[in-house]
Amino acid sequence: MARRTRFVDSDILIVGGGFGGCGATYESRYWGRDLKIVLVEKANVERSGAVAQGLSAINCYMGMQWGENQPEDFVRYARGDLMGLVREDLVYDIARHVDSTVHKFEEWGLPIIKNPETGRYLREGKWQIMIHGESYKPIVAEAARKSATEVYNRIMVTHLLMDGTQPNRIAGAVGFNVRNGDFYVFRAKAVIVGAGGGSHIYRPRSVGEGMGRTWYAPWSTASAYGLLIPTGATMTQMENRIVLARFKDGYGPVGAWFLLLKSHATNAAGEMYEADRFPEIKARVGNYADIQPMPTCLRNHAMIEEIKAGKGPIYMHTQHVLDTKEKEELGWEDFLDMTIGQAVVWAAQNIDPKETPSELITSEPYVMGSHATCSGAWASGPEDCAPADYQWGYNRMTTVQGLFGAGDTIGGSAHKFSAGSFTEGRLAGKAAVRYVMDMKADAPRVDEAQIKKLKETVYKPLENYRVGRNEIVAGTVAPSYITPLHGLQRLEKIMDEYVGGYSMFYVTSDALLNRGLELLEMLTEDFENIGAEDLHQLQRAWELQHRILTAESVTRHTLFRKETRWPGYYYRADHPKLDDADWHVFTGSQYDPKTREWKMSKLPVHRIVEGFELLRT
Ligand SMILES: Cc1cc2nc3c(=O)[nH]c(=O)nc-3n(C[C@H](O)[C@H](O)[C@H](O)COP(=O)(O)OP(=O)(O)OC[C@H]3O[C@@H](n4cnc5c(N)ncnc54)[C@H](O)[C@@H]3O)c2cc1C
């Protein structure tokens, strides 16, 4: 069937209308009054991305107006939590601007909870503030909608376009409308990718119809990485994937319980396992164990060891802290604003949190660069504070000319969360405007042949299905194609069993990783024969492709880093110790789509903020 091709030209194209994308759209308009700014989103910006369901806290707010924290404090915190490895220039840049973002959110109508005694924002913890956040996403999306020249909803971007005459320059993106199947070619002078991190790369703990019950949104399909990797952009810290301690079965957040309500967790016998395990943790990671608060991965490690020793279930003792009506409401609202499924688990399992403790567990791993870990693209830093090694022209530009990123897309700078991702979008938007203005009228040249080839590639899964289904004699298993769901389950199983998923207690090794790569190679070959029965499955097919590329990147980075830097996130059984002498570095990779080769490298860690004496073993 002939598909219509629609061409959309712009100065700045923003791919993904989540928190990074909305920030980028808003700020691009501010600096680029006369520019054509186009936002493209695979769902609908109104309720898309990881914040679609709402949030109950903004996890990154300094409170500089009240002298609560300074950006330097935040850099020290992020550095400690990541066992020494963060891009301090990027973290600092977000910290110094994030408060103004939060103030805008409040101006736009986001209800931020106030402390009745001080009149300040109610703190959940040192960096977090509490919000009534069910409508957080629509409020923020409105600002982006008003700023964009055009918003294209329901377009799944499948590939980025490269310039026909300059090999390392971006030229736009292609994708298809998931409702009517039209093919879209977006030509742009600069592209900002904010397409979000990845769930369902590893086998989830949930089974069967609970498959959508993952911690990171099931529609976060790693496009932030899957789109960038084939352009040859340098990626960093892809091995630094995240595992979260969460309420069991619903993935409800623990932050408000630990930090605001001051609840505590014990093993089944009521023992404070984290404190008990401190000597073992100290022996494993040395001085890093003394960091306050204890790094997230080490707290996970204590829980994992406890469960391995048969001392579970691990319990959060909610019943000890819900002593007032207000606190009880706050506890429920924490879930109802953000992870409704957890409140449903309470109801379904007859758990009254006032009476009964709730189980905690560690999740399967996710790949993302905006939460507590650092996966993503290697990006140029801010001019005034990035060391020379971290700077090649424009803030948040990747190693590809004109290709910028924000939120989960950008690596090396964890703990951005929602407000930080929006802030990073703003920084990328401002820099992209400057890039476009510096270029003047120099529009990219997109080669017709490239577009024709991509169009054939994008719809091939529909063709595979159309032809292949005739070979089915009974049931649904076809001899010559796999479905997106088959491919996804195979990917999750490989990653789980060979690249340190939950069923292996997050353990892997050289031998396991190499075998995992062999199996991923076969899956990549089979992707050529994926079959999609309709446009929805076509979207699933391309989401799978982004996940497979991301998975291979994670596997190669994990193989490259020969140490266990973040016990609790993953373990290299053959290199069980943290090794600062050789591995106090970022990992880097560059993929060549023509040869399918990956070039791995070590990238330097520079300090820009004092106060690191304690670290390094
Ligand atoms: C359960 C949960 C709890 C969280 N809790 C908190 C919290 O309490 N406080 C806090 O501050 N932060 C929290 N976060 C983190 C916060 O949501 C993220 O840091 C932030 O959303 C990341 O922004 P982003 O733009 O990178 O990704 P997203 O906001 O996820 O946006 C990505 C966008 O890209 C779109 N997209 C993806 N692929 C494509 C494609 N191929 N083509 C077109 N569009 C595409 C998606 O539909 C989406 O709209 C939480 C996240 C989750 C999932």
CA 23 to ligand 1 center in whole angstroms: 12
**Residue 135 CA to ligand 1 centre (angstroms):** 14
For residue 370, the CA-to-ligand 1 centroid distance in Å is 9
Query: Mutate which of 136, 152, 421, 549 to test ligand 1's pocket (most atoms within 8 Å of Cβ)?
Result: 421
3-state class percentages of the chain: helix first, strand second, coil last, to nearest 5: 40, 15, 40
Establish whether 496 is a catalytic residue.
Answer: no
How high is the pLDDT of residue 213?
87
Alpha carbon dihedral 433, 380, 230, 530, in 10-degree steps, equals: -80
Taking CA atoms only, the protein residue closest to ligand 1 atom 14 is 417
Q: How many CB atoms lie within 10 A of CB 292?
A: 8
How many A from CA of 66 to the centre of ligand 1? Answer: 29
The structure tokens listed for 484 are 């997106």
| 3-state secondary structure at position 572 | strand
pLDDT for res 543: 98
Q: Is 334 a catalytic residue?
A: yes
SS (H, E, C) 100-161: HHHHHHHHCCCCECECCCCCCECECCCCCEEEEECCHHHHHHHHHHHHCCEEECCEEEEEEE
pLDDT means per 10 residues, the chain with 617 residues, are 93 98 98 98 98 94 98 97 97 98 98 96 95 96 98 98 94 98 98 98 89 90 98 98 95 86 93 95 95 95 97 95 89 85 91 94 97 97 95 96 98 98 98 93 87 97 96 87 96 98 98 98 97 98 98 98 98 97 98 96 94 55
Is residue 61 within 8 A of residue 422, CB to CB? The reply is no
The closest-lying atom of ligand 1 relative to the alpha carbon of residue 417 is 19
Closest ligand 1 atom to 408 CA: 26
**Ligand 1 center to residue 138 CA distance, Å?**
13
Q: Do 195 and 157 contact (CB within 8 A), yes or no? A: yes
Cα 58 to ligand 1 centroid, rounded to whole Å: 13
**Residue 257 annotated to the active site:** no
The CA 339 to ligand 1 mean position distance, Å, reads: 14
Asked about 150 being catalytic, the answer comes back as no
Give the tokens for residue 99. 């408060």
Atom of ligand 1 nearest to the CA of 194: 25
Could you tell me the pTM of the whole model? 0.97
Is 215 an active-site residue? yes
pLDDT of residue 2: 83
Q: What is the dihedral of CA 508, 513, 514, 516, to 10 degrees?
A: 120
Pocket, ligand 1, Cβ cutoff 6 A: 15-21, 40-43, 48-51, 55, 57-59, 156-157, 194-196, 215-217, 219-221, 223, 253, 338-339, 370-371, 407-408, 416-419, 421
SS3 586: strand
Among 41, 81, 96, 215, the one annotated catalytic: 215
Ligand 1, atom 8: closest residue by C-alpha: 57
Burial string for 322-347 (b: 16+ CB within 10 Å, else e) reads beeeeebebbebbbbbbbebbbbbbe
**pLDDT at residue 442, as a whole number:** 81
User: Which is the catalytic residue, given 124, 239, 359, 496?
Assistant: 124
The residues, ordered by sequence, that sit 6+ positions from 364 with a Cβ below 8 Å of its Cβ are: 202, 203, 204, 205, 214, 243, 496, 501, 502
